[in-house]
Amino acid sequence: MLSQHEQHSLPALDHSAYLGPARVRDIAGRRVQLEFPDALPWADLALGFPYQAAVGDTVLAIGQRGNWYVIGVLHGTGKVSFLVPGDFEVLAPKGRIKLVAGKGFEVKSPAAKISAGKLELVAHKVFERFTDATRWIKDRWQVRAGRVRAEIEGDYHLKAKTISARADEDVKIDGEKIHLG
């Protein structure tokens, strides 16, 4: 809703040009109905990005007589969707790209690849689900954990040139048969 000051500063919408805030009252495709105290004109979205307006948005409107356009979004809750028919690239050859989402981040694709000189993942919790997974490490794989637990439904095979196991306390091996040597 427009403030008292904004309502009093509105020109008569029929004659004078207006540039200022307006509330979106209704939506019909790429047109929105603007709400003013004494008029409800329809406006074309004339934004430089593909914004889908939502009822209740506060937009920057410009108009005179019957010609109204939305040229900015002052407070919006709508969606922005980019649809391209082919490849899509975001480049920052001399800078960084940062994506920030308040409610979540999702990537969906038949294939995804991340190539990096260094990859760092930081999370409070991680859940991974795979049908089949392979991890190949050329030099060293190091795990630091408070506890490690593995539950394997089938066989568990471990092969190494040498195996070294050490416990500060008990070592327990439980099985129907234990073969050594």
Indicate which CATH number applies to the domain containing 39.
2.40.50.140
- Token reading at 46: 């004339």
Q: How far apart are CA 56 and CA 21, in angstroms?
A: 12
Bigger pLDDT: 5 vs 126: 126
Question: What band does 176 get if pLDDT is binned at 50, 70 and 90?
Answer: very high
Domain residue limits at 65: 4-78
Instruction: With respect to residue 162, please indicate whether it lies within any of the assigned structural domains.
Output: no
Other Cβ atoms less than 10 A from the Cβ of 3: the count is: 9
Does a structural domain hold residue 177? no
Q: Is the pLDDT of residue 27 over 70?
A: yes
Query: Is 48 part of any domain?
Result: yes
In a domain, 41, yes or no: yes
Residue 161: is its pLDDT beyond 90? Answer: yes
Residue 127 covered by a domain: no
Q: What is the DSSP letter of 55?
A: T
Q: What is the DSSP string of 131-180?
A: SS-----SS------S------SS------S------SS------S----
In a domain, 14, yes or no: yes
Domain count, the chain: 1
Residue 155 is assigned to a structural domain of this protein: no
> Can you tell me the mean pLDDT for 64-72?
94
Q: pLDDT-derived band of residue 65, with 50, 70 and 90 as boundaries?
A: confident
Q: Is residue 156 part of a domain?
A: no
